[in-house]
Amino acid sequence: MSSNPSTLVHTRSHALQQRAERFFPGGVNSPVRAFRAVGGAPPFIDRAEGAYLVDADGNRYIDYFGSWGPMILGHAFPPAVEAIERTARHSASFGASTAAEADLAERIVACYPALQKMRFVSSGTEATMSAIRLARAATGRKRIIKFEGCYHGHADGLLVKAGSGVATFGIPGSAGVPEEIAQLTMALPYNDLAAVEAAFDAHPGEIAAIILEPVVGNAGCIPPAPGYHEGLRALTRREGALLIVDEVMTGFRVALGGAVERYGLDPDLVTLGKIVGGGLPVGVFGGKALFMDLLAPLGPVYQAGTLSGNPLAMAAGLATVSYLQDHAAEIYPRIEATAKAVTEGVAAEAARAGIPLTLNRVGAMWTWFFTPDPVRNYDEAAKSDTVAFGRFHHAMLEQGVWLPPSQFEAAFLGTTHGPDEVEKTITAARAAFRS
């Protein structure tokens, strides 16, 4: 490994990016992939295995974003690959029900007893959008509360003060969202129960639901303050609003049963995505049967999907969730220990180099914020030195360590990261902080 940044060749990636820009706005099919926040052209991926990505120029990287969360068992996880291959031979889609849907649902309920009923969709965006519709139908109310810096996909009503790419690019919401729709979303500071109480007081009987990331990942990693979840549950119960816990990122990540298990939550509705599809497009929304049975064909709330419960996606999800469930007692403590070692090792290198860094970590998700101060909400995350983060990102990438390309995105690792990767990463950070 080189300690001299800018030694990697990126010729083919540069050419591929230029070609992609002819077809796709910014050359990408999802904005954060464009690396605008950290500068430089994004490497194009050729293939990946375990904890490693290989780009179009043959450079190898330790992967710390895992396809933005799903690849907790490493890339090309053999049981998932086999399941997909086996399933594909019998056709990729039927548009009619298969046993695999209930097979995966059975596994999910075993990890998430809160999902008395559920429905599969094809993305996290669809899951949260549908959960909100259900909450509005169940309560007959229009307004929703979300939190600044939380990202719940790109549906109209959920982009107000959103995290992820919206935060990365400093966009307050999105053009093209009618004001009438944006007005129904109240965006409040995270970890601030008084703000939630005030919102309920200002709009009595009008708030259908609170939706939150139970551990924020999309403003960088921000843990819930002690008592925060319980406070939200008590307020929603008192006010007759639903509590929607968006576990698209944290589900099967911060524990087998996600934040619901880790923090002992009692949500009305839960949304899942990312890991639950094992790298294929799967989203889930589910929760109390009383609410879920409002969905068509049983009830008046319409929601549908041509490829929902797609056989290939179910196969990959089933292989992934089954493995996680069967090995949870070994996997979750191990990935947490690996994450602790790498995050604290890098933070110690920063301290040694005199670089102020605040480390937030929950299980195997984390962020190194380039700020000396605690980060408990979006405003505090936004104080980070994003230029310093960009330099760090670039220096790490050039040494074969691929971090999420924004200060406002959580990093992840999984079961295929071991002591070797930890050591290489800490060594790379040492060089990065001194360059």
Ligand X SMILES: *Cc1c(COP(=O)(O)O)cnc(C)c1O
Catalytic residues: 151, 246, 274
- 87 scored as a contact of ligand X (CB under 6 A): no
Q: Which is nearer to ligand X, 248 or 321 (CB)?
A: 248
| Span from 124-132, 181-189, 255-263, 393-401 in contact with ligand X (CB under 6 A) | 124-132
Distance CA(265)–CA(263), nearest Å, equals 6
Distance CA(241)–CA(211), nearest Å, equals 10
Shortest spacing between CB 69 and ligand X, in angstroms:
7
Q: Which is nearer to ligand X, 153 or 224 (CB)?
A: 153
Shortest spacing between CB 217 and ligand X, in angstroms:
6
Chosen residue from 55, 63, 148, 213 binding ligand X by CB under 6 A: 213
What values do phi and psi take at 90, rounded to 5?
-100, 20
Shortest spacing between CB 123 and ligand X, in angstroms:
4
- 248 scored as a contact of ligand X (CB under 6 A): yes
Chosen residue from 42, 124, 165, 214 binding ligand X by CB under 6 A: 124
Q: What share of the chain is helix, strand, coil (3-state, %, to 5)?
A: 40, 15, 40
What values do phi and psi take at 285, rounded to 5?
-130, 145
- 409 scored as a contact of ligand X (CB under 6 A): no
Chosen residue from 59, 218, 399, 425 binding ligand X by CB under 6 A: 218
Question: Of the candidates 186, 291, 299, 298, which has an alpha carbon nearest to the alpha carbon of residue 240?
Answer: 291
- 125 scored as a contact of ligand X (CB under 6 A): yes
Token pair, residue 38, equals 């950290």
| Span from 110-118, 241-249, 288-296, 384-392 in contact with ligand X (CB under 6 A) | 241-249
Rounded to 5°, angle at Cα 256 from 255 and 257? 90
| Span from 70-78, 213-221, 236-244, 335-343 in contact with ligand X (CB under 6 A) | 213-221
Shortest spacing between CB 291 and ligand X, in angstroms:
19
Upstream peptide bond of 297 is cis (omega within 30 degrees of 0) = yes
- 123 scored as a contact of ligand X (CB under 6 A): yes
What values do phi and psi take at 104, rounded to 5?
-70, -40
Chosen residue from 273, 286, 287, 363 binding ligand X by CB under 6 A: 273
Give me the DSSP letters along 2-52.
-SSSS-S--HHHHHHHHHHHHHSGGG-SSGGGG-TTT-SPPPPEEEEEBTE
CB nearest ligand X: which residue? 124
| Span from 111-119, 136-144, 182-190, 246-254 in contact with ligand X (CB under 6 A) | 246-254
Radius of gyration for the alpha carbons in the chain, expressed in angstroms and rounded: 21
| Span from 119-127, 182-190, 367-375, 388-396 in contact with ligand X (CB under 6 A) | 119-127
- 217 scored as a contact of ligand X (CB under 6 A): yes
Q: Which is nearer to ligand X, 239 or 246 (CB)?
A: 246
Distance CA(411)–CA(277), nearest Å, equals 19
Q: Which is nearer to ligand X, 147 or 433 (CB)?
A: 147
Shortest spacing between CB 214 and ligand X, in angstroms:
9
Sheet holding 365-369, edge to edge: 358-362, 365-369, 411-412
| Residues of this chain, 135-164, that bind ligand X according to CB under 6 A | 151-153
**How many CA within 13 A on the CB side of residue 354?**
2
**How many CA within 13 A on the CB side of residue 216?**
32
Shortest spacing between CB 210 and ligand X, in angstroms:
14
Give CA separation, 216 vs 257, 338, 347, 393, 418, in Å.
Answer: 16, 21, 20, 21, 25
- 128 scored as a contact of ligand X (CB under 6 A): yes
What mask, x for binding ligand X by CB under 6 A, covers residues 17 to 56? ----------------------------------------
- 239 scored as a contact of ligand X (CB under 6 A): no
Distance CA(389)–CA(146), nearest Å, equals 27
Q: Which is nearer to ligand X, 125 or 360 (CB)?
A: 125
Question: Of the candidates 278, 222, 273, 214, which has an alpha carbon nearest to the alpha carbon of residue 415?
Answer: 278
What values do phi and psi take at 184, rounded to 5?
-80, -10
- 214 scored as a contact of ligand X (CB under 6 A): no
| Residues of this chain, 275-294, that bind ligand X according to CB under 6 A | 283
| Span from 242-250, 261-269, 315-323, 340-348 in contact with ligand X (CB under 6 A) | 242-250
Q: Which residues form the interface with ligand X (CB under 6 A)? A: 123-125, 128, 151-153, 213, 217-218, 246, 248-249, 273, 283
